[in-house]
Amino acid sequence: MGDGVSSEFERFVEERKLVRARISRGMILKEMEAAQADLQDARDSSERRKFKWATIQGYYSMFHSARALLYHRGFREKSHYALLVAVRVLYSNELEPSMIDRFEEAMNLRQEADYGLKFSEAGAVETIEGAEGLLQRATELLKLK
């Protein structure tokens, strides 16, 4: 991991975009339930060829999985990007770099779908596959199986 990511993490802590928090097991489980529900919604939307919504829902599945991981380490985020940076730093040894890269790409695809009205079947499929992988890995790391 480069020093740039670590220093960005530290800056977010200083700016209170990442804050230490008391997190209950119930809060973590709620995030994981949301991740599972959003993943199922994304699959359903994709089957109905609603690729904008499938992309958005797939991203939010990843967001909730990542947030559960962040909660597990005792932090809360104040922005989507701060969450990405935090997970990249806090789970550098447990998550494959490609998994974090897929989360970042899904974030970009979600923004394009939501704000630019640019989306595709390929982007939806990519986001859903990333969400499946992150949900599975988060489940393992959080010892939920």
76 phi/psi in degrees, rounded to 5:
-125, 150
> Residue 19's pLDDT is what?
97
Give the C-alpha separation, 139 to 41, whole Å: 19
pTM value is 0.94
DSSP state of 120: -
Partners of 20 in beta bridges? 75
> Residue 1's pLDDT is what?
46
**Domain CATH code at residue 55:** 1.20.120.330
Q: Please state the domain count of the chain.
A: 1
> Residue 145's pLDDT is what?
65
- pLDDT of the chain, 145 residues: tens digit per residue: 456 778 999 999 999 999 999 999 999 999 999 999 999 999 999 999 999 999 999 999 999 999 999 999 999 999 999 999 999 999 999 999 999 999 999 999 999 999 999 999 999 999 999 999 999 999 999 998 6
> Residue 144's pLDDT is what?
84
**Residue tagged 């969400």 (tokens):** 131
Is residue 54 within 8 Å of residue 128, measured between CB atoms? yes
> Residue 5's pLDDT is what?
73
- 131 is in which domain, residue-wise? 3-141
